[in-house]
Structure 1
Amino acid sequence: MNYPIPATAEEIEALKENPVDEELIAAAIAGVVQIARSQGQTLDELTAEVLADDHWLEPEQRRWLSAIVAQAWESLGKEN
């Protein structure tokens, strides 16, 4: 991966400076998962945040993103 996994919200914010591609998105998702874990959040809590209604994503997109976050959670958990 060309991008390090962000460890803080500021580092995730700094990703905006890069062109969007698959690796950037993967790094951002991995960073969100690791930050959530470091703050003691559970997968269910993080999933609830992803599924929360907002003006950015349609319900189907939120469900799709929630599944990806869950996969990242499981994959990153195997590395630790």
Structure 2
Amino acid sequence: MKNYPIPDNPQEIVAMRQKPVNEELIATAIAGVVQVARSKGQSLEDLTAEVLADDRLLDWEARRWLSDIVTQAWKTLP
């Protein structure tokens, strides 16, 4: 199991595309999204609204599930 550093900016999140996808990478990416949103002064409500917005990649149920995961990460991360 690798330990990925939590991304500090959007460029680091995009750079994660070069890594093989696994559960740890996904968790790290979610933590990075939360961290970047906080650093930009976004609220949890702002971030979940972005996740829930129609993006043509995920259906409504998948976006809702991801929104719940992002909410849990927001509440758990320092």
TM tier, smaller: over 0.9
The amino acid that maps onto 1:22 is E
Q: Distance in 2 between matches of 1:14 and 1:24?
A: 12
TM-score, normalisation: structure 1: 0.93
**Residue 55 of structure 1 corresponds to which residue in structure 2?**
56
Segments of 5+ residues of structure 1 without an aligned counterpart are none
Q: Which residue of 1 aligns with 2:69?
A: 68
Runs of 4+ that moved beyond 6 A = none
Match of 2:45 in 1: 44
Count of residue pairs the alignment pairs up? 77
Q: What is the letter of the counterpart of residue 57 of structure 2?
A: W
RMSD of the TM alignment (CA)?
Answer: 0.8
The Cα offsets for residues 57-77 of structure 1, whole Å up to 9 and x where unpaired, read as: 00000000000000000001x
Distance 1:54 1:14 in 2: 20
